[in-house]
A and B are shown apart, each in its own frame.
Chain A
Amino acid sequence: MQPLDRERLHRHSLADLLIEYPLLESALLEAGIEFDPDEQTTLPAHLARWAEVHGQSADSFLARLIERIDELNRLLGPATSMKRLSIVAGRDKSGRAETVAGIELNRGDLLAIVGPTGSGKSRLLADIEWLASGDTPSGRRILIDGRTAEDRRFAFGGDRMIAQLSQTMSFVLDATVEELLALHVESRGLAAGLVEDVIEAANGLSGEPFFRHTPLTGLSGGQTRALMVADTALVCRSPIVLVDEIENAGIDRRAAFNLLLAQEKIVLSATHDPLLALLAPRRLCMRHGAMHSLHRRTPEEEAILADLETLDDLHGALRSQLRLGARLTPLGALHHRRNPSWP
């Protein structure tokens, strides 16, 4: 997106600018300037007219407005352009070196993190969120494009590296789907049309459609999770997504990961669920606080993944039949999905 400068202000109609720069609307409202969203004159022309009616100077208004928009743009920061995330090993709970020396992840990569409770999955995710530089109990270092990224820890807006999705999250806002998405899209400086795209993508994941005017509190568990995934994929600008336990979610989990990966996110997914663990081409096993072993998915495991997905589909089909009041009949032969498209 081009920065909003004086030249663009003079060249485009206010209506067009409002579509391209959603922040403009809040800046105008904040300044107490009335306007018609379909205004075909330019902003300076509109301001001149408005200022005349109110007996004020249009120039000072314009200057203040541009200053405010610049300030909001600075808050958003430039979208980050990182390419590679590296985890450099530290030590386990007893201070011994980790057996996996390090992991490299590129944009669009998915890594599953498995291991018993207490094995260090959360510590690893926390290290990544903190962009650790050897200063946490694990001694790990997190590198962005090969360099430590301590200076980006407190970055805001477009420069924030990490987004999170977890089973414990829910929507708390008393608003409709559209209202929240509009706020989120605006706060990221993106165009309002994205709201519809997010709803469509979310509905593609949950199979139970909701609408623009559905209240957030009226969403089912599956719809909630689907909306969070779609929103994180399409609106959130952080390149790294940490996923903590999204099993039992009632959504197409493979499609959910594909949606995130299609947006070039680097996805790390901590899980106990075999289907989720096998969806990732690589999985990291944690033990005693350490990165213990790194596994590449084998052809045998791919076949097992296909079986698991068939079971998952079957489970979903039985669930919806029961909900519709059907009487179940004996199961026939299981049919595998025709076009598996694993990440």
Chain B
Amino acid sequence: MQLITVAGPPSSGKTSVLLKALEWLRAEAVRAGVIKFDCLVADDDQAYQNAGVPVRKGLSGVLCPDHYFVSNIDRVLEWSSAQQLAMTLIESAGLCNRCSPHIKGLLAVCVLDNVSGLQTPRKIGPMLKLADIVVITKGDIVSQAEREVFAFRVQSVAPRARIVQVNGRTGQGAQALARLLRAAPHLEGDGDSLRLRFPMPAALCSYCLGETRVGPDYQIGQFRKLDID
């Protein structure tokens, strides 16, 4: 089975792009499904359902989205084998930008859009830096100059990544993405040997446990204070 992580900031076009790539995969008789991880709400599972793509969603709610994601990889694998999927795409809203859901030895995709600003590639962190493929969307509404500068910025943050320009509305470029997805490495054995590419951020404090009061008296656990000198 092929397990692929797809991450990107909210509204960057992950779902639109995957839907267009899934059309090409279906035409090549690849049975692919999607698991969508999000924090609060996700309606995108409806879009996948309408397209006839097997889909499950997971909302982290009060839990840290990164930890929720990684502690559910085993469930993802169970679901995928129950659904007899040849390819499972794990879509997540990039969790927090400090984090990256990418897993060693599996294909890692990052989705960014041209409209998000030229500083974005430098702000995104390991989710982009450690990606194998960077999909850049919304190229049809910005100038060629901005496209080129944005792609250059992406490539200088992630020099080894392959950049694919995909238009989520028309599907232009989706064939390229589908081809790269098909070439993803296969998961060998069960998921016990999987390792994250980048450690998750530490989170163990009173606020993790539902504390809402503000002030030094209520800060128990791991904290770091702002340097104001």
A236 CB to nearest chain B CB (Å): 6
Instruction: Please name the residue on chain B nearest to A75 by beta carbon.
Output: B155
Please name 6 further chain A to chain B contacts, defined as beta carbons within 8 Å, in addition to the given A164-B144, A228-B143, sorted by A numbering.
A171-B142, A172-B114, A172-B146, A184-B145, A184-B148, A187-B153
Quick one: which of B114, B118, B140 contacts A168, CB cutoff 8 A?
Answer: B140
Q: A184-B148, A236-B148 are in contact. Are A169 and B143 (CB under 8 A)?
A: yes
Q: Which residues in B have their C-beta under 8 angstroms from that of A183? A: 118, 145, 149
Residues of A132-185 contacting chain B, CB below 8 A:
135-136, 153-154, 156-157, 163-166, 168-173, 180-181, 183-184
Q: How large is the interface on A (under 10, 10 to 19, 20 to 34, 35 or more residues)?
A: 35 or more
Contact B141 A75 (CB under 8 A): no
Residue interface mask B141-183, A partner, CB < 8 A = 1: 1111110110111011001001110000010110110000000
Contact B170 A122 (CB under 8 A): yes
Alpha-carbon distance A169/B142, docked complex (angstroms): 5
Residues of B7-58 contacting chain A, CB below 8 A:
none
A22 CB to nearest chain B CB (Å): 12
Contact B141 A235 (CB under 8 A): no
Q: Give the total number of A-B pairs whose CB atoms are below 8 A apart.
A: 83
Alpha-carbon distance A181/B114, docked complex (angstroms): 17
Residues of B61-83 contacting chain A, CB below 8 A:
none
Whether a CB of chain A sits under 8 angstroms from the CB of B184 is: no
Whether a CB of chain A sits under 8 angstroms from the CB of B187 is: no
Q: Which 9 A-B pairs have the closest CB atoms?
A: A187-B152, A184-B145, A183-B149, A231-B145, A187-B149, A163-B144, A154-B162, A126-B172, A172-B142
Contact A136 B143 (CB under 8 A): no
Contact A75 B144 (CB under 8 A): no
Contact B145 A180 (CB under 8 A): yes
Whether a CB of chain B sits under 8 angstroms from the CB of A129 is: yes
A253 CB to nearest chain B CB (Å): 18
Whether a CB of chain B sits under 8 angstroms from the CB of A105 is: no
Instruction: Please name the residue on chain A nearest to B116 by beta carbon.
Output: A172
Whether a CB of chain A sits under 8 angstroms from the CB of B115 is: yes
Q: A136-B175, A154-B164 are in contact. Are A231 and B152 (CB under 8 A)?
A: no
Q: Which residues in B have their C-beta under 8 angstroms from that of A236? A: 144-145, 148
Instruction: Please name the residue on chain A nearest to B165 by beta carbon.
Output: A129
Centre residue among A136, A154, A157, A163 by max chain B CB count within 10 A: A154
Alpha-carbon distance A140/B164, docked complex (angstroms): 21
Give me 22 A-to-B residue pairs in the complex whose CB atoms sit less than 8 angstroms apart, sorted by A's number: A75-B155, A135-B175, A136-B175, A153-B176, A154-B164, A154-B176, A164-B139, A165-B144, A168-B140, A168-B141, A169-B143, A170-B142, A172-B142, A173-B118, A180-B145, A180-B146, A184-B148, A187-B148, A188-B148, A232-B144, A232-B145, A236-B144
Residues of A222-256 contacting chain B, CB below 8 A:
227-228, 231-232, 235-236
Alpha-carbon distance A153/B163, docked complex (angstroms): 10
Q: A156-B155, A183-B149, A184-B149 are in contact. Are A231 and B142 (CB under 8 A)?
A: no
B120 CB to nearest chain A CB (Å): 12
Q: How large is the interface on B (under 10, 10 to 19, 20 to 34, 35 or more residues)?
A: 20 to 34
A214 CB to nearest chain B CB (Å): 15
A169 CB to nearest chain B CB (Å): 5
Instruction: Please name the residue on chain A nearest to B170 by beta carbon.
Output: A122
Alpha-carbon distance A235/B145, docked complex (angstroms): 8
Q: Which residues in A have their C-beta under 8 angstroms from that of B172? A: 126, 129-130
Contact A130 B175 (CB under 8 A): yes
Instruction: Please name the residue on chain A nearest to B180 by beta carbon.
Output: A154
B149 CB to nearest chain A CB (Å): 5
Whether a CB of chain B sits under 8 angstroms from the CB of A197 is: no
Whether a CB of chain B sits under 8 angstroms from the CB of A72 is: yes
Whether a CB of chain B sits under 8 angstroms from the CB of A196 is: no
Quick one: which of B115, B140, B152, B175 contacts A75, CB cutoff 8 A?
Answer: B152
Quick one: which of A156, A163, A173, A180 contacts B163, CB cutoff 8 A?
Answer: A156
Instruction: Please name the residue on chain B nearest to A170 by beta carbon.
Output: B141
Alpha-carbon distance A170/B163, docked complex (angstroms): 22
Instruction: Please name the residue on chain B nearest to A132 by beta carbon.
Output: B175
Q: Which residues in A have their C-beta under 8 angstroms from that of B114? A: 172
Alpha-carbon distance A49/B151, docked complex (angstroms): 36
Centre residue among B139, B143, B146, B151 by max chain A CB count within 10 A: B143
Q: Which residues in B have their C-beta under 8 angstroms from that of A181? A: 145
Alpha-carbon distance A264/B151, docked complex (angstroms): 24
Instruction: Please name the residue on chain B nearest to A198 by beta carbon.
Output: B145
Contact B151 A231 (CB under 8 A): no
Whether a CB of chain B sits under 8 angstroms from the CB of A104 is: no
Whether a CB of chain B sits under 8 angstroms from the CB of A71 is: yes
